[in-house]
């Protein structure tokens, strides 16, 4: 009997272990951890770092980051087809900016509209027939705005976000004329449909066909020739099949009448609008009273327009995402802090590299972004085992990277920190028409957006995209002209609308558009007055 009892007791631990194993297996299969990437699982349950522990502190287990960004992203996609869509959240700093319930509702509603009206649907085909008729029939069930690219990648992304905002405010479907140098760089952002114009679109060669300043089909030209008139009823029979909106930096006074409130009802008569811009014209929409109520509900925080819409719309394709993740894991992942520094060229008003470098160094030292160096003291040997501070430099030139790298390679820092300086590429010249060039640019915008602290240069659309995606208010290095300080802190993470119109349509004269409403003010990084930006 005693032997039997001992045998039963000896078997109990095995039964307990087996039972616990089954319970854990059932929990796993139930989906509790099914959607977490493997790297996040291992990271979440790794042992805490050694050091003094406070019993009242939070658990060392890192909570899983919200891959849907507060509901901003639709869960209706196949994750492997676009890794960046749901993995970006693992790299960005946690955002304090939550998308409004109205914005989430608007995006889901837009996705349904795009799926119903997207390329090759019955409603799209009906709209194409109207376009072929060469005359406007007034608004249809599906109405479109076609984005035409211009400028460098930063300019393109800013104008794309602005055009998407215009589309959702006006219940239009956004379609892209995708140039060769951007093919296969971005994932489709809308479930179950495409945002790219099909190859059989009836207007060929969109990049050259009648879509330029002063072209016959442009709004500015038709307004100038009194074919169209703002604020007046126009007979449908007299309207062309589509309208071209030229919102480039070189738009003339007639083109800029787009920004008049009384122009907007006229555009509703055109099922097809073609829009070309290299500007972030979103702030101008906040100056039009007919959009006030909806914009307030969409963006209670005004400076989150690019932050939310950029994260929603712009997802690098897997080939580009590979650039991002490989570089990050190799050089940035183990840093205790990541500092991004972006330096632009000024081709129209060049600045000597040495002068701009002085501004960058003076800014980072003055604002304690980077530590100073011990010129006469040999290397500090006590930094062994200490995580370095990683500095990511993005510039067309290598000079900024080389000077900063040598500065911390040849000297100890006054804080004892080890500083690693890295530069992914140095193209020397901007080659917007080259896809490989654009791929590297997009990858580096994303790498910059993962920074803990960001330093950019004035007037930089490249920097604007990084700060908007990352939700960062950067330190902006100013040109070394006019006794400027080395840099100033941005008060908003929004991009700047560089060439905004100063014309007040109601007053019939130019006014200071930066004083009309509290949330639209002049940009901090410009020496001229007409740039506009959204603030809280």
The predicted-structure confidence for 365-393, as pLDDT tens digits, reads as follows 999 999 999 877 665 555 556 788 999 99
pLDDT at 16 over 60: no
Residues 309 and 414 in one domain: no
Share of the chain above pLDDT 70, in %: 81
Asked if residue 83 is part of any domain, the answer here is: no
Number of domains present in the structure of the chain: 2
In the DSSP assignment, the letter for residue 84 is H
**Which of 298, 313, 328 finishes a domain?**
313
Strand pairing class (520-522; 532-534): antiparallel
Residues 142 and 273 in one domain: yes
Residues 309 and 349 in one domain: no
Q: Three-state SS for 168?
A: helix
**φ, ψ at 130 (rounded to 5°):** -60, -40
Cβ-proximal residues to 253 (8 Å cutoff; 6+ apart), any chain: 220, 503
- Higher pLDDT: 189 or 3? It is 189
pLDDT at 28 over 70: no
pLDDT confidence tier of residue 30, bands split at 50, 70 and 90: very low
Among 164-178, 297-311, 409-423, 516-530, the range scoring the smallest mean pLDDT is 516-530
Domain that holds residue 287: 101-313
pLDDT for 44-89, tens place per residue?
Answer: 323 333 333 333 333 333 445 789 999 999 999 999 999 999 999 9
Beta-bridged to residue 316, according to DSSP, are 186
Is the CA virtual torsion 331, 332, 333, 337 positive or negative? positive
Strand pairing class (412-413; 373-374): antiparallel
Residues 269 and 400 in one domain: no
Decide: 277 and 162 in contact? Cβ < 8 Å.
yes
Degrees, nearest 5: CA angle 272-278-280: 90
pLDDT at 23 over 70: no
pLDDT at 36 over 60: no
pLDDT confidence tier of residue 236, bands split at 50, 70 and 90: low
The span from the CA of 73 to the CA of 108, in Å, is: 9
The span from the CA of 252 to the CA of 215, in Å, is: 12
pLDDT at 154 over 80: yes
Residues 380 and 527 in one domain: yes
Provide the CATH number for the domain around residue 401. Answer: 3.40.50.11350
pLDDT at 258 over 50: yes
* Residues of the chain by 3-state class (helix, strand, coil), percent to 5: 40, 10, 50
Residues 252 and 190 in one domain: yes
Cα dihedral angle (474, 536, 86, 158), rounded to 10 degrees?
-70
Residues 356 and 275 in one domain: no
**φ, ψ at 321 (rounded to 5°):** -60, -30
**Which of 262, 280, 313 finishes a domain?**
313
**Which of 313, 342, 361 finishes a domain?**
313
Residues 428 and 358 in one domain: yes
pLDDT confidence tier of residue 482, bands split at 50, 70 and 90: low
Q: Three-state SS for 269?
A: coil
Q: Three-state SS for 517?
A: coil
Decide: 444 and 425 in contact? Cβ < 8 Å.
yes
Residues 413 and 323 in one domain: yes
For the chain, what is the mean pLDDT?
83
**Stated pTM of the model:** 0.85
Quickly count: other Cβ atoms within 10 Å of residue 270's Cβ.
24
pLDDT at 43 over 70: no
């Amino acid at each position: 009997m005693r032997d039997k009892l001992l045998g039963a007791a000896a078997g109990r631990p095995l039964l307990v272990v087996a039972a616990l194993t089954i319970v854990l297996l059932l929990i796993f299969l139930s989906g509790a951890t099914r959607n977490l990437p493997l790297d996040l699982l291992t990271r979440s349950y790794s042992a805490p770092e050694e050091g003094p522990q406070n019993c009242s502190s939070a658990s060392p287990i890192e909570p899983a980051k919200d891959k849907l960004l507060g509901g901003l992203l639709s869960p209706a996609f196949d994750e492997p087809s676009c890794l960046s869509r749901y993995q970006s959240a693992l790299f960005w700093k946690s955002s304090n900016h939550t998308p409004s319930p109205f914005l989430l509702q608007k995006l889901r509603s837009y996705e349904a509209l795009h799926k119903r009206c997207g390329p090759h649907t019955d409603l799209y085909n009906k709209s194409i027939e109207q376009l072929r008729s060469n005359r406007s029939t007034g608004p249809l069930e599906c109405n479109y705005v076609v984005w035409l690219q211009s400028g460098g990648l930063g300019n393109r992304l800013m104008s794309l976000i602005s055009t998407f905002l215009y589309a959702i405010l006006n219940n239009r479907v956004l379609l892209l004329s995708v140039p060769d140098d951007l093919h296969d760089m971005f994932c489709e952002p809308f479930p179950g449909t495409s945002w790219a114009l099909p190859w059989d679109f009836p207007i060929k060669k969109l990049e050259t066909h009648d879509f330029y300043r002063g072209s016959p089909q442009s709004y500015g030209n038709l307004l100038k020739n009194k074919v169209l008139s703002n604020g007046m009823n126009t007979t449908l029979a007299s309207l062309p099949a589509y309208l071209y909106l030229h919102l480039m930096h070189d738009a003339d006074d007639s083109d800029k009448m787009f920004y008049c409130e009384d122009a907007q009802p006229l555009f509703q008569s055109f099922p097809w609008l073609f829009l070309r811009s290299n500007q972030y014209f979103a702030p101008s929409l906040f100056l039009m009273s007919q959009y006030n109520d909806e914009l307030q509900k969409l963006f209670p925080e005004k400076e989150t327009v690019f932050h939310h819409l950029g994260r929603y719309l712009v997802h690098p394709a897997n080939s580009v995402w590979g650039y991002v993740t490989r570089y990050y894991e190799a050089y940035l992942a183990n840093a205790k802090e990541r500092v991004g520094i972006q330096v632009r060229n000024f081709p129209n008003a060049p600045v000597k590299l040495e002068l701009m470098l002085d501004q960058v160094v003076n800014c980072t030292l003055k604002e304690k972004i980077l530590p100073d160096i011990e010129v006469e003291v040999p290397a500090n040997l006590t930094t062994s085992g200490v995580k370095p501070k990683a500095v990511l430099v993005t510039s067309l030139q290598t000079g900024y990277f080389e000077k900063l790298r040598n500065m911390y390679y040849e000297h100890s820092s006054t804080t004892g920190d080890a500083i690693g300086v890295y530069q992914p590429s140095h193209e020397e010249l901007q080659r917007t028409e080259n896809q490989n060039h654009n791929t590297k640019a997009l990858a580096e915008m994303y790498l910059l957006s993962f920074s803990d602290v960001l330093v950019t240069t004035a007037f930089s659309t490249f920097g604007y995209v990084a700060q908007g995606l990352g939700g960062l208010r950067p330190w902006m290095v100013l040109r070394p002209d006019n006794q400027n300080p080395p840099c100033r802190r941005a008060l908003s993470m929004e991009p700047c609308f560089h060439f905004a119109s100063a014309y007040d349509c109601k007053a019939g004269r130019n006014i200071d558009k930066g004083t009309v409403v509290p949330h639209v003010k002049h940009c901090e990084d410009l020496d001229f007055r007409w740039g506009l930006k959204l603030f809280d």
